[in-house]
Structure 1
Amino acid sequence: MSRLAGINMRASMRQISDKIRCLEICVEDEAGARAAVQGGAERLELCCALDCGGLTPSFGLMRALAGTAIPVVALIRPRSGDFRYTVSEKAMIADDIKAAAACGMAGVVLGAMSGPQQLDLDFLAEMVALTHAAFAPRSPLLTLHRVVDMLEKPEDAVPLAVSLGFQRILTSGGHSGAVEGRDTLRRMVNRASGRVAIMVGGGIRPDNVSALVSDTGVHEIHASAREPVEVDHRLRNLGFVTSDRRVTSEKTVLALRQALS
């Protein structure tokens, strides 16, 4: 290979590398994790009850997926609804962080509020410190979740996340879907200036992800990549499954990965 050809090849590889974004897929079972990995995900967020935004996964599920080939972080959310937690709920969160560390998770996803439009900074600082202690000597991955979308100005969470020690913020820009929140997402990316990663989530699909990345400058993508499946009518009639059940699709994960490359 000529010297010029080698230079051109390295330049081409840099251009390809610059386009590659980190794709995180949220999953709620072992089959979903397997589909996400095979589709090309680079990180998993593990939870249960995705239809209400996700809740803390079971101890057994965390242990089962701790050996996955890519990093797996656990969502720590004790119940659905708002993010203003009681004293006993905060104790559950602390215990669940310890359980995630004991199970071999790569990190945790956290969020809490102290009042309308206010993050619970004291509690979050305590939980970040507890996470580092529980995961030691490993360095945990720390994500501030979409609690920031409850703020009047989600971009105000950026310096707070930096000061608390979070590595990334998961957000839809304060809207139900990230496409509608792209202006806010762009401001968040600019305000972050590389100090914390802005990870976009909320209605992310293969047909909108490329334009969303170009419009906002985000470098991390979060999606469920789920598709509807047929359900056994007996399970549905007995209330064991909803009629609109969706599962992680390897094909959709692959399509997202290709759209980002």
Structure 2
Amino acid sequence: MSTPFDLTGKRAVVTGAGRGLGQGVALGLAEAGADLVLVGLPDSQTETEKLVRDLGRDVDVVDLDVSDHAAVAAVGARISAAHRVDILVNNAGIIDRHDTVDVTDDSWNTVLDINLSGLFFLTQAIGRPMVERGSGKIVSIASLLAFQGGIRVISYTASKHGVAGITKALANEWGPLGVQVNAIAPGYMATDNTTALREDPDRARAILERIPAGRWGTPADIAGAAVFLSSAAADYVNGHVLVVDGGWMAR
């Protein structure tokens, strides 16, 4: 039985889909019926490709370093020429933990190039045909640090505040043209990005004590939100940053 969450016949591009949240989102979209284009670093997405194929979905794998903005524009145009892309999920990102007084030009620029600038230029390239035809869904992975300051992650915090800003600005511009632009702000997830926190007994305990759900999140927790925002069920949701945090922000 068809539901508004059914993505059968849709094509989704997911960046950074080789592991963690990106892999979880890609599999969630595939389970909902979408075919996939997986975009990431070379040799990083073999497992996800196999899992998507095992679900019976068509999948292409495209190599891209999203910090290379010229390559981003070229690859985005090539994907759009090869496929009608209905959904773009901007997941690729990195985090850099340093005391602010020790942050270098290189480390600052690397985080912003991947998390913010690369995201924008790929959205521009993939979003252009969506705007031209008057339909599409764009979902970016933000963070609780789109709302909070964090500790020792100033470049990451700046980039995720920027993701929330891009989401709202594009929603204003592209919403009237039939393209919904939203973001997901994951809470504390059990992924590579949080390994240092989970291995610090004091920080890990303090974090868990604040989360009403009493556990770290998983990629599957984000997949459902991504399916919703990618589907017809979210046709009137625009410019929203959806927090998926086990209740962290409610404390």
Normalising by structure 1, what TM-score?
Answer: 0.37
Higher share of residues assigned helix: 2
Which of 1 and 2 has greater Rg?
1
Normalising by structure 2, what TM-score?
Answer: 0.38
Q: Select the structure with the greater relative contact order (CA < 8 A; seq sep ≥ 6).
A: 2
